[in-house]
Homo-oligomer: A and B are copies of this chain.
């Protein structure tokens, strides 16, 4: 349906020859749909000149009213309530799937078949089989695909990867990753789709653990095996729209896993939604033969680094580096607007969108800096192994 007002249209009608336009169709108008929409609007001028100017063609959601309002807010020309309309819309070259996990597979597979490039929210599917199907469809279609593991675009995390890859930390001995929050600590917090097995696939494992696993793979390499346990601490929650009715929580509030990596490193993977004082505690530690690294998303502008043989010897210790400097890896243009100031979560999405546009327009590989659907599949395999180990009480090998 045509939007009557185009207030807030992000990128104007480019009549400039050298900056191409690219038509964007968005599925989802919740938090992630808005965060991505902001990314598409900002990319047009944040990186200058941009690889392409995103044209916000259409946004799709279940509620016509909410979707229309979001279209107006962000400047989408049209809105739909059936995702198939996005697939059918020829103006759309880039399909952004920011919907819940259970509507990742069908729309993505259809979009791939229609030849659209796809940016999909994580996790790719609700399990490894569904994820494999999506990845296979993308491969078959030969489109460009990217999974929104946006934290790869935190400068401090990109720097951590560079330090590992350049050999500065030496041979990796340990990786410990965790994602802790207090989101479900309140037993009176209502049931949401993330706690529903049909909609979400799993709980902390798929939602939070997937970020930890992706960072483990991005920074250290492939896991070889996992041994895990999980818990659902609050087994019933009130329905959001019918608070007098209780629904059973079918997914995990938390998991703990030991992990062995193919390169010999050992460590832990954990996630929990019941930790007081934790807001967005996606944190990792890497210990290597020459040095160690620490990171916490709550202090996303900082990377801690210790060189085992640092000089002067008397003052060896973790250096607390603020990673907003111009010489930080890959981020020259990023800081054009920021000088040396602190940046926030929002920027990770903007940079992710930039990366995908750049890959599409300039025919670059999304990997290794961006996550592909293959990364999404591999992450799902590790999630499944964790869940299997929770049941079997045995170490489970990661077998892609």
* A interface residues with partner B (beta carbon < 8 Å): 4-16, 19, 31, 34-35, 38, 41-42, 44-46, 48-49, 53, 69, 72-75, 159, 162-163, 168, 173-174, 176, 180-182, 185-187, 225, 227-231, 233, 254-260, 264, 266-268, 270, 272, 274-280, 287-292, 297-308, 310, 312-325, 327-329, 336-347, 389, 393-395
Contacts and interface: CB of A to CB of B under 8 A. Distances in A.
Contacts of A389: 227
6 tightest A-B contacts by CB? Answer: A344-B344, A277-B306, A341-B345, A317-B321, A227-B227, A9-B12
Number of copies: 4
A267 B75 CA distance: 47
A262 to B, nearest CB: 14
A292 B318 contact: no
Nearest to A41: B45
A152 B277 CA distance: 25
Nearest to A320: B317
Contacts of A277: 291-292, 306, 308, 316-318
A292 to B, nearest CB: 4
A315 B227 contact: no
A173 B9 CA distance: 48
Contact of A342 (B174, B300, B316): B300
B336 A313 contact: no
A340 B75 contact: no
Contact of A338 (B174, B288, B345): B345
24 contacts: A5-B16, A9-B12, A12-B12, A38-B42, A159-B314, A162-B314, A174-B275, A176-B270, A181-B340, A276-B288, A277-B316, A280-B340, A280-B341, A298-B342, A305-B317, A306-B319, A314-B321, A314-B329, A338-B345, A343-B344, A343-B345, A346-B347, A393-B395, A394-B394
B73 A315 contact: no
A312 B163 contact: yes
A231 B42 CA distance: 42
Contacts of A278: 292
Nearest to A17: B5
Contacts of A288: 276
Nearest to A69: B48
A393 B342 CA distance: 37
A317 to B, nearest CB: 4
A355 to B, nearest CB: 19
A7 B255 CA distance: 48
